[in-house]
Amino acid sequence: MSTTTKDDGKKWIQASIAVVCILLCYVLIRFFLQMGEWFELESKINNFNAITQVISVLIAGGVFFYIMKNPKTSDFLAEVYQEAVKVVWPDKNETVKHTIGIMIGVTIVGFLLGIFDWVAKWLLAMIN
Protein backbone atom coordinates (compact mmCIF):
# COMPACT_ATOMS: atom_id res chain seq x y z
CA MET A 1 0.00 0.00 0.00
CA SER A 2 1.37 3.36 -0.95
CA THR A 3 1.62 6.17 1.50
CA THR A 4 -0.05 9.40 0.52
CA THR A 5 0.52 12.85 1.84
CA LYS A 6 -1.89 15.74 2.11
CA ASP A 7 -0.15 17.41 -0.84
CA ASP A 8 -0.85 14.33 -3.00
CA GLY A 9 -4.53 14.74 -2.24
CA LYS A 10 -4.47 18.42 -3.18
CA LYS A 11 -2.73 17.61 -6.45
CA TRP A 12 -5.24 14.93 -7.40
CA ILE A 13 -8.21 17.07 -6.41
CA GLN A 14 -6.94 20.08 -8.35
CA ALA A 15 -6.09 17.94 -11.37
CA SER A 16 -9.50 16.29 -11.45
CA ILE A 17 -11.31 19.61 -11.02
CA ALA A 18 -9.18 21.06 -13.83
CA VAL A 19 -10.06 18.15 -16.13
CA VAL A 20 -13.76 18.53 -15.35
CA CYS A 21 -13.58 22.27 -16.00
CA ILE A 22 -11.78 21.68 -19.31
CA LEU A 23 -14.56 19.29 -20.31
CA LEU A 24 -17.10 21.90 -19.19
CA CYS A 25 -15.37 24.48 -21.38
CA TYR A 26 -15.52 22.14 -24.39
CA VAL A 27 -19.22 21.38 -23.79
CA LEU A 28 -20.02 25.09 -23.44
CA ILE A 29 -18.17 25.95 -26.65
CA ARG A 30 -20.05 23.20 -28.53
CA PHE A 31 -23.34 24.36 -26.96
CA PHE A 32 -22.84 28.00 -27.93
CA LEU A 33 -21.76 27.06 -31.45
CA GLN A 34 -24.84 24.85 -31.84
CA MET A 35 -27.07 27.65 -30.59
CA GLY A 36 -25.35 29.99 -33.05
CA GLU A 37 -26.05 27.58 -35.88
CA TRP A 38 -29.69 27.11 -34.92
CA PHE A 39 -30.43 30.80 -34.49
CA GLU A 40 -27.96 32.02 -37.16
CA LEU A 41 -26.06 34.07 -34.61
CA GLU A 42 -22.83 33.90 -36.64
CA SER A 43 -24.30 36.33 -39.14
CA LYS A 44 -25.86 38.60 -36.51
CA ILE A 45 -22.92 38.90 -34.07
CA ASN A 46 -19.43 39.91 -35.16
CA ASN A 47 -16.67 37.53 -33.99
CA PHE A 48 -19.25 35.08 -32.66
CA ASN A 49 -16.73 32.20 -32.43
CA ALA A 50 -14.23 34.23 -30.42
CA ILE A 51 -16.95 35.53 -28.10
CA THR A 52 -18.29 32.02 -27.42
CA GLN A 53 -14.80 30.73 -26.67
CA VAL A 54 -14.01 33.60 -24.31
CA ILE A 55 -17.33 33.23 -22.49
CA SER A 56 -16.83 29.46 -22.19
CA VAL A 57 -13.31 29.83 -20.81
CA LEU A 58 -14.47 32.48 -18.33
CA ILE A 59 -17.35 30.29 -17.10
CA ALA A 60 -15.14 27.20 -16.77
CA GLY A 61 -12.43 29.24 -15.02
CA GLY A 62 -15.01 30.75 -12.70
CA VAL A 63 -16.32 27.30 -11.81
CA PHE A 64 -12.75 26.11 -11.13
CA PHE A 65 -11.94 29.02 -8.84
CA TYR A 66 -15.33 28.84 -7.11
CA ILE A 67 -14.79 25.16 -6.29
CA MET A 68 -11.20 25.72 -5.17
CA LYS A 69 -11.93 28.80 -3.02
CA ASN A 70 -15.15 27.53 -1.44
CA PRO A 71 -14.08 25.90 1.86
CA LYS A 72 -17.18 23.72 2.02
CA THR A 73 -16.56 22.05 -1.35
CA SER A 74 -12.80 21.87 -0.79
CA ASP A 75 -13.30 20.09 2.53
CA PHE A 76 -15.83 17.74 0.98
CA LEU A 77 -13.48 16.85 -1.89
CA ALA A 78 -10.63 16.30 0.58
CA GLU A 79 -12.83 13.91 2.58
CA VAL A 80 -13.82 12.08 -0.61
CA TYR A 81 -10.15 11.70 -1.54
CA GLN A 82 -9.27 10.37 1.91
CA GLU A 83 -12.08 7.81 1.70
CA ALA A 84 -10.99 6.77 -1.80
CA VAL A 85 -7.45 6.22 -0.52
CA LYS A 86 -8.79 3.87 2.18
CA VAL A 87 -10.55 1.63 -0.35
CA VAL A 88 -8.97 -1.78 -0.85
CA TRP A 89 -9.03 -2.30 -4.60
CA PRO A 90 -9.16 -5.88 -5.95
CA ASP A 91 -6.06 -7.37 -7.49
CA LYS A 92 -5.84 -8.48 -11.13
CA ASN A 93 -6.61 -12.14 -10.43
CA GLU A 94 -9.76 -11.29 -8.48
CA THR A 95 -10.91 -8.86 -11.15
CA VAL A 96 -10.44 -11.41 -13.93
CA LYS A 97 -12.39 -14.06 -11.99
CA HIS A 98 -15.30 -11.70 -11.34
CA THR A 99 -15.31 -10.47 -14.94
CA ILE A 100 -15.47 -14.02 -16.29
CA GLY A 101 -18.26 -14.87 -13.84
CA ILE A 102 -20.26 -11.83 -14.92
CA MET A 103 -19.74 -12.66 -18.61
CA ILE A 104 -20.98 -16.22 -18.04
CA GLY A 105 -23.99 -14.96 -16.07
CA VAL A 106 -24.94 -12.40 -18.72
CA THR A 107 -24.63 -15.05 -21.44
CA ILE A 108 -26.91 -17.45 -19.55
CA VAL A 109 -29.49 -14.72 -18.93
CA GLY A 110 -29.29 -13.76 -22.63
CA PHE A 111 -29.97 -17.34 -23.69
CA LEU A 112 -32.90 -17.58 -21.27
CA LEU A 113 -34.41 -14.36 -22.59
CA GLY A 114 -33.91 -15.62 -26.15
CA ILE A 115 -35.73 -18.86 -25.30
CA PHE A 116 -38.59 -16.93 -23.66
CA ASP A 117 -38.81 -14.70 -26.74
CA TRP A 118 -38.85 -17.70 -29.08
CA VAL A 119 -41.58 -19.41 -27.02
CA ALA A 120 -43.65 -16.21 -26.96
CA LYS A 121 -43.34 -15.85 -30.75
CA TRP A 122 -44.31 -19.50 -31.21
CA LEU A 123 -47.36 -19.12 -28.96
CA LEU A 124 -48.44 -15.92 -30.73
CA ALA A 125 -47.99 -17.61 -34.12
CA MET A 126 -50.30 -20.42 -32.96
CA ILE A 127 -53.00 -17.86 -32.12
CA ASN A 128 -52.99 -16.46 -35.66
pLDDT for 80 equals 94
Cβ neighbours of residue 22 closer than 8 Å, sequence gap 6 or more:
60
CB atoms within 10 A of CB 25: 20
Number of domains into which the chain is organized: 2
Q: How far apart are CA 125 and CA 128, in angstroms?
A: 5
CB atoms within 10 A of CB 21: 20
Are 117 and 75 members of one domain? no
pLDDT for 128 equals 76
The residue count of the chain comes to: 128
pLDDT for 8 equals 84
Are 40 and 72 members of one domain? yes
Are 38 and 75 members of one domain? yes
CB atoms within 10 A of CB 28: 19
Task: Please say if the pLDDT value at position 7 is more than 90.
Answer: no
Are 84 and 96 members of one domain? no
Structural domain boundaries, residue 112: 90-128
